A and B are shown apart, each in its own frame.
Chain A
Amino acid sequence: DGGITQSPKYLFRKEGQNVTLSCEQNLNHDAMYWYRQDPGQGLRLIYYSQIVNDFQKGDIAEGYSVSREKKESFPLTVTSAQKNPTAFYLCASSNPNEKLFFGSGTQLSVL
């Protein structure tokens, strides 16, 4: 079955630690996205990539980094510079002018 797989489902981060959230898709989509969801708020765009080896900052990129070395994969690293990392993170993918498909998300919490 085609889809988007995010892992882990739950992740805990210690102070000063970098953590990486995985996102893999087998839908052959060109574009991939990372969103952050906080309670009572809409999804906010962190980073997006329209093509392999290229990515752009979204609205709230500070404290995050990404890579797009393969079409299928778009990992998100939450660095120690992100002072408020506790949130639900959603990865999505799409082809141009098509709707987004979402992964099942990763809940990140700070210890």
Chain B
Amino acid sequence: EDKVVQSPLSLVVHEGDTVTLNCSYEVTNFRSLLWYKQEKKAPTFLFMLTSSGIEKKSGRLSSILDKKELFSILNITATQTGDSAVYLCVAESSARQLTFGSGTQLTVLP
């Protein structure tokens, strides 16, 4: 059975801190890994990763995939209160099946 495990389940930091969110996966015929930010209930897309070792960046957020060790990390530097959200990791198979992690609840305190 395919599964995605995220850690930690929740995290509380102060503004300016750097955080690393982890995602490990076991998916048959893995195709890609996606990160979403869920705030106010509607997930919004952050990154799609298909190749190992290539970092994707968007502002203070970056993510990388390790297809050998079957994990991905999402880094957020210089966190802001607006970064508070649930971050979802999703693994996609070649058959377009999606397996969602349970999410990491990030709280950034002022």
- A residues lining the B interface (CB < 8 Å): 35, 40-45, 88, 90, 96-97, 99-105, 107
Which B residues touch A100, using CB under 8 A?
Answer: 34, 45, 98
Known A-B contacts A42-B4, A42-B88; the reply to A102 vs B102 at CB < 8 A is: no
Q: How far is the CB of B93 from chain A (nearest CB, A)?
A: 12
A13 to chain B: closest CB distance in Å? Answer: 19
Please tell me if B30 contacts chain A, counting CB pairs below 8 Å.
Answer: no
Chain B positions within 8 Å of A90 at CB level = 41-43
Count of residues in B whose CB is under 8 Å from the partner chain: 19
Q: Is the CB of A104 within 8 A of B98?
A: no
Contact: A104 with B45, CB < 8 Å? no
A99 to B88, CA, bound (A): 14
Is the pair B42, A102 in contact by a Cβ cutoff of 8 Å? Answer: yes
Between-chain CB contacts (< 8 Å), 14 pairs? A35-B100, A41-B102, A42-B102, A88-B41, A90-B42, A96-B96, A99-B45, A99-B48, A100-B34, A102-B42, A102-B43, A104-B40, A104-B42, A107-B41
